[in-house]
């Protein structure tokens, strides 16, 4: 039986009006601060939200939109365990991004099973000029 992992926000963008995922939302892995599409500095950024994970481990990653292979920063923090999502706060280093870059902030948790993709949430932010 399929299990809903989250809700994707789609938007038509670009000259061909193609559909793009602009955010992913999940009640057990979400980013509350900064807000989606906020202008942020190319430096230290505090990311706050709620999440749950195996042994309370939550992974927060920042990468340039469209380039998941190049991670700007990744931090492991603690949230909730079992059925409860708990608050987390972590500081990421975005100094490798250039002004105008769209950076994806991704939070992942989950049960820790090898075949389970886990729960995730993601938002875009824009590096300030």
What pLDDT does 114 receive?
65
Mind listing the pLDDT tens digit of every residue in the chain (129 residues)?
A: 666 667 777 777 666 667 777 778 888 899 999 999 999 999 999 999 999 988 899 999 999 987 878 899 999 999 998 788 999 999 999 999 999 999 999 998 866 666 666 788 889 999 998
Other beta carbons within 10 Å of 27? 13
Measured distance CA(90)–CA(106) in Å, rounded: 12
Distances (CA, A) of 118 to 9, 29, 110: 19, 9, 4
What pLDDT does 24 receive?
81
Q: For residue range 50-72, what is the model confidence (pLDDT) as tens digits? A: 999 888 999 999 999 878 788 99
Measured distance CA(76)–CA(57) in Å, rounded: 7
Cα-Cα-Cα-Cα dihedral sign, residues 125, 4, 84, 68: negative
Measured distance CA(45)–CA(60) in Å, rounded: 12
Residues whose CB is less than 8 angstroms from the CB of residue 9 and which lie 6 or more positions away in sequence, other chains included? 21, 22, 23, 24, 25
Written as six digits, the tokens of 92 are 């990421």
């Amino acid at each position: 039986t399929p299990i809903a992992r989250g809700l994707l926000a789609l938007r038509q963008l670009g000259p061909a009006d193609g559909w793009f995922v602009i955010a992913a939302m999940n009640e057990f892995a979400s980013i509350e601060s900064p807000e989606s599409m906020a202008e942020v500095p190319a430096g230290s950024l505090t990311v706050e939200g709620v999440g749950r994970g195996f042994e309370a481990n939550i992974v927060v990653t920042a990468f340039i939109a469209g380039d998941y292979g190049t991670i700007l920063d990744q931090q492991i923090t603690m949230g909730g365990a079992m059925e409860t999502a708990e608050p987390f706060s972590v500081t990421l280093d975005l100094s490798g991004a250039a002004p105008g870059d769209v950076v994806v902030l991704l939070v992942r948790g989950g049960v820790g099973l090898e075949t389970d993709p886990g729960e995730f949430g993601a938002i875009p932010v824009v590096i300030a000029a």
